[in-house]
Amino acid sequence: MSYDDFEYLHFERLDGHILLVTIDRPENPLNAVNGQMHDELTALFPALQHEREARCIVLTGSGPTFSAGGDFDWFPTLQAPGRLEPLRQDGKNLIWDMLDVVVPIVAAVNGHAMGLAASIALLSDIIFVAESARIGDPHVKVGIVAGDGGTVAWPLAIGPALAKQYLLTGDPISATEAHRLGMVNFVTPDDECLDEALAFARRIAANAPMAVQYTKVATNKLLKDAANTAFDVATALEIVTFQSEDHAEALAALQEGRDPTFHNR
């Protein structure tokens, strides 16, 4: 895909060497991920692998939210025969392709980042977070495994024990606490998040591009080794739980405005 082919991702070149990518789903102020956005995020990182002008990429969200993760209205459609295996393959490709983008990616997490969006933010190279934003992976709250990168990104960011604290409860973490734990690089006032991320991106872009990119490639070998260890198992188990009664119960409870009752089946 060329940049002009995306509907929910917008591209803007700044200062010659900065590429600003904005997640923007106009009909959904939470920028929740539906089928089309998942397809576009899957296509984004292969497109960025071919980027030749930018020396740094800044990824942010439109409005008050980075992305609230999966759109619950989309989930029931995934029960159709043949839908889950292509989704699993796309989910794996998305993370692997992101780690193979040689141009540094600075995340400007302007608002809440949940589920897949949290994984994308945490696997970025430098992470700025607005002070009111929260980062979370609530997969377990809807009866599914955190298979779209959470079981890789969170342990890498804060270690297995703390990662399990948040992944097994689905509790979000505040920007301040994420910074204290070393999960993100910078916390900013809400209205300064993007500006500060862009300023840092310009600092990266001022350095020798080949040296910067190869340094990232070498460092990301560690991340890819970790992803190779955990990712296939996590995505396979996520498919199992997508087909569980507990997942169906979680979606029904959300629709009916009640707490779910899980039965481990």
CB-side neighbour CA atoms (13 Å) of 211 = 5
- The token pair at 207 is 């350095």
Domain extent, residue 24, equals 3-191
DSSP state of 66: S
In a domain, 201, yes or no: no
In a domain, 242, yes or no: no
pLDDT over threshold 80, residue 74: yes
Beta-strand pair 126-130/105-109: parallel
In a domain, 200, yes or no: no
Tell me how many domains the chain contains: 1
pLDDT one-digit tens code per residue, 63-72: 999 999 888 8
In a domain, 264, yes or no: no
Residue count of the chain: 265
Residue closest to 41 by CA, chosen among 3, 96, 113, 94: 94
The domain that holds 14 is classified in CATH as 3.90.226.10
Rounded to an integer, the average pLDDT of 49-58 is 96
Residue closest to 203 by CA, chosen among 12, 55, 78: 55
Question: Residue 140's pLDDT band (boundaries 50, 70, 90)?
Answer: very high
All residues at 6 or more sequence positions from 202 whose CB lies less than 8 Å from its CB, including other chains: 15, 17, 18, 56
**pLDDT averaged over every residue in the chain:** 94
In a domain, 198, yes or no: no
- The token pair at 225 is 């080794």
Rounded to an integer, the average pLDDT of 244-258 is 93
All residues at 6 or more sequence positions from 222 whose CB lies less than 8 Å from its CB, including other chains: none
In a domain, 221, yes or no: no
In a domain, 253, yes or no: no
In a domain, 210, yes or no: no
pLDDT over threshold 80, residue 244: yes
Residue closest to 122 by CA, chosen among 154, 94, 147: 154
Alpha-carbon distance 96 to 49, whole Å? Answer: 11
